[in-house]
Amino acid sequence: MTEPRDEQNIPPPEGSFPDEAAEMVAETDVEAGAAGGDPATADPAADAAADAAADSADTAGEGADDELTLARIALEERTLDLQRLQAEFVNYKRRVERDRDLIKENATYAALAPITEVLDTIDRAREHEPLEGGFKAVAEQLERTVGAAGLTRYGAPGDPFDPSLHEALSHVGEDPEVSVTTCKIVAKAGYRIGDRVVRAAQVLVVDPAAEGAQPAPEEQGQQDQQDQ
């Protein structure tokens, strides 16, 4: 007579499906915990380190931006300082050149001003008689020398009277042929260096005739003789 089989006490054969399924589930749980998919198996220390690293990166980025801003501000300040120094140097250079020209002009003025009296003597000698011999050679050489140094002679009969260039010694009447006060006679020539007057020309001037004024008898007689 056959004994009944106790199915509950019969162990499952090796390699059966329940064992393999259990092993697969266990491996899946381990992998999920390692990957952080399961909050229960995640590592809090690793998460905190990751957050700290992210915060540190943000702080470093903000610090770099601040340093760049400060560098730009410093560059702008240095640029302004350089521009200011350059402008000051240009102004200094111009002032030095202007002072140098002024010193040169003053030195030339001081050297040539006394010579105008010698030139006046030469002019009076020419009016008396033509220059000859050695005196003529010396006079011409002196005139060339002062001319090369910048001394210029001016003033001639017929020039309009200019108070900044002429010194009126006297008025000698009126002249119907002039429309403005005019230099009639040049007693002493004027001299200047550039635009700077060394000595004003000394002149005798005539004024234009007043409207409706009758000419003097002598002038009328000369006019009648010219008409005839």
pLDDT digits (tens, 9 = 90+) for 81-135: 999 999 999 999 999 998 988 898 889 899 999 999 999 999 999 888 888 888 8
Q: What is the pLDDT of residue 12?
A: 52
Q: Are residues 185 and 218 in contact, defined by beta-carbon separation less than 8 angstroms?
A: no
**CA pair distance 40, 33, nearest whole angstrom:** 8
Q: Which residues contact 18 (CB under 8 A, 6 or more apart)?
A: 12
Percent helix, strand, coil in the chain (nearest 5)? Answer: 60, 15, 25
Higher pLDDT, 41 or 52: 52
Indicate the pTM of the whole model: 0.53
Residue 2 pairs with which residues in a beta bridge? none
How confident is residue 1, by pLDDT bands cut at 50, 70 and 90? very low
Burial level of 82, CB count in 10 A (0-12/13-18/19+)? exposed
In this predicted structure, the answer to whether residue 50 has a pLDDT above a threshold of 90 is no
